[in-house]
Chain A
């Protein structure tokens, strides 16, 4: 009994110490993830025809519905290559979604840039979001005629 009490007390103290060593910045967690913050900045309408030019053009993908909500991406094409990917929308209903987006979306974006196609690996732990992302990305690529 004494040992059990000791184990519980040690664990609780260890836990509290561990947690207290982390920064407690309240504002940081409340901000939407960077990937979603870009939504406001991109207002360029998507061109319907797919012509190659040296100028950068942006193409929106379809909004792909997933179990947790729609995912939609927008690609910028420069010289026939994907020069950047923006995520217009992603599930952000709860904390868990936001966390997934914070970790998974940057990985997906990076993968897109290096693969230059929608043939990318989904991020485990964020399977639904990944699937939606890939679907939306594919439609954007099709639309851009890449």
Chain B
């Protein structure tokens, strides 16, 4: 805790005001793409006649949309910096989860209606038709495999199954969707009625899929490699901050050029025998400076527990910086930060660096779980324009009822919330009912 006493850096002031990518923009782009896909169907379909026509064409529309949706879902997870920063990694993950369920629904609808429609047209049984299609239509067998892979991933991602599974297992099972997307791609062009002889549509489809593949390779897979090549991060020391909470200090080359801002996080891959295969997201718990980085982790799972055993010198591959939970979100000169438990980590860096009048409300279950207490007090003392309120106790519904009494001008504040899901929810509720507009409430939550 000796590096802290430098005057607080005002990142939001010194950083050039960059244009922020607006989340709605991404949504509109996705919707426009979907409309274009429907237009493709519209152009290539002369008529819809009979029960078989209705079924088959339903199958085609849902199939086209599912094919498009697959590409979009993969694109959302490609870790494109503009999206990670502008939309926020947590929101991307939520959209991905929501969209994922929808696309699975489209895929199931596509398979059922296409088989049924063809069966009606050929006057054969549904099962016979399914077998015929899978075995004799070009690339449909591969697509069938893709279908079952997707169903499998959907089942393990379902909330009920997810709870009984390790994060890492779930995470790696998700990579089968790449295989599924690849297997399903062939039949889209080989049997898709809308693509037959339509060079423009084929090229557009190739551009969509190759574009997403390029994004994945460049950002998701080569991104960490580039960071490693440039910065050579290593663990310098591991300190225990509280029962079950450790801080990991890291160093590396040219850290200033990492471009990390207070409030952001990286996905960390520690190259030890037990940890190398998983990359987990942890926020920086100290404002990044040229000298070193620090993350603080609460032992919630196997991975975070193993971090306590890290040795100095361990090589680290970091992916990032990610996350839009930074001072760029703020518009008001006054900010209130609300932290719950280990959710203090990104807010601790904002508390150090946000300009203007600051109030930090920090809640933890026990006094030992109040992390960085000395550091926070020191920051408040050095800044002079920051107030710190710590409280201890178990969850209670009226946790935030005194909020507007504490800050009579609450509605003029930007609010930053980070903590356990229930706490985040009740904090947002309290802020909303105190009259803080929704666009001034910024929160980050990770529920995988």
A125 to B193, CA, bound (A): 8
Chain B binding surface SS class: helix
* Stretch of B8-16, B184-192, B360-368 lying at the A interface: B184-192
**Residue of B61, B105, B196 touching A18 (CB-CB under 8 A):** B61
Chain A 68-99 interface mask (CB, 8 Å, partner B; 1/0): 00000000000000000000000000111001
User: Is A19 a contact of B57 with CB atoms below 8 Å?
Assistant: yes
Q: Is there contact, CB below 8 Å, between B58 and A103?
A: no
Q: How far is the CA of A25 from the CA of B202 in the complex (A)?
A: 28
B121 touches A (CB below 8 Å): yes
Collect the chain A residues with CB atoms within 8 Å of residue B56's CB: 95
Determine whether B46 belongs to the interface, using a CB cutoff of 8 Å to chain A.
yes
Residue of B nearest to A108 (CB): B197
> Which of B49, B56, B57, B136 neighbours the largest number of chain A CB atoms within 10 Å of its CB?
B49
The answer to the question of B138 belonging to the interface, with a C-beta cut-off of 8 Å to chain A, is: yes
**What chain B residues lie within 8 Å of A3 (beta carbons)?**
98
Q: Give the residues in chain A near B122, CB-CB below 8 Å.
A: 94-95
Residues of B within 8 A of A126 (CB): 196-197
As a 0/1 sequence over residues 115 to 146 of chain A, the CB contacts with chain B under 8 angstroms (1 = contact) are 00000000111111000000000000000000
Does chain B have a CB within 8 A of A54?
A: no
- Please determine whether A19 and B54 come into contact, CB atoms closer than 8 angstroms: yes
Tell me if A8 counts as interface (CB < 8 A to partner B). Answer: yes
Interface presence of B247 (CB below 8 A): no
Within 8 A of A (CB), among B191-221: 191-193, 195-197, 202
Q: Determine the chain B residues whose CB is within 8 A of the CB of A43 once the complex forms.
A: none
Residues of B within 8 A of A124 (CB): 189-190, 195-197, 202
Tell me if B401 counts as interface (CB < 8 A to partner A).
Answer: no
In the complex, the answer to whether A29 meets B49 with C-beta atoms within 8 Å is: yes
Instruction: For A99, list chain B residues within 8 Å (CB).
Output: 193, 196
Q: Which residues of A contact B38 (CB under 8 A)?
A: 18
Q: How far is the CA of A103 from the CA of B57 in the complex (A)?
A: 17
Chain A nearest Cβ from B8, distance in angstroms: 42
The answer to whether residues A125 and B46 also contact, given A15-B58, A96-B191 and a CB cut-off of 8 A, is: no
- Count of chain A residues near B, Cβ 8 A: 31
Asked whether any CB of chain A lies closer than 8 Å to the CB of B101, the reply is yes
**A45 in contact (CB, < 8 A):** no
Q: Is the CB of B50 within 8 A of A26?
A: yes
Partner of B61, one of A15, A29, A104: A15
Could you tell me the distance between the alpha carbons of A128 and B136 in the complex, rounded to whole angstroms? 12
A65 to B58, CA, bound (A): 33
Q: Quick check: is A2 within 8 A (CB to CB) of the other chain?
A: no
A8: B residues at CB distance < 8 A: 105
- Kindly provide the distance from the CB of B130 to the nearest chain A CB, expressed in whole angstroms: 14
B41, B47, B105, B190: which contacts A28 (Cβ < 8 A)? B47
Question: Is A55 among interface residues, defined by CB-CB distance under 8 A?
Answer: no
A23 touches B46 (CB 8 A): yes
Query: What residues of A have a CB within 8 angstroms of the CB of B98 in the complex?
Result: 3
Complex A-B: 25 CB contacts under 8 Å:
A3-B98, A4-B101, A11-B105, A15-B61, A18-B41, A18-B61, A19-B54, A19-B57, A19-B58, A22-B46, A22-B57, A24-B47, A24-B49, A28-B47, A29-B47, A29-B53, A94-B118, A95-B118, A95-B121, A96-B137, A103-B193, A103-B197, A124-B196, A125-B191, A127-B190
Can you add 19 more A-B contacts, CB < 8 Å, to A25-B49, A103-B196?
Answer: A4-B101, A7-B102, A18-B42, A19-B48, A22-B45, A23-B46, A24-B47, A26-B50, A28-B46, A67-B136, A94-B121, A99-B193, A103-B193, A107-B197, A123-B196, A125-B189, A125-B193, A126-B197, A127-B190
The 9 A-B pairs at the shortest CB distance, nearest first, are namely A125-B196, A22-B48, A95-B121, A23-B47, A26-B49, A103-B196, A103-B197, A29-B49, A123-B197
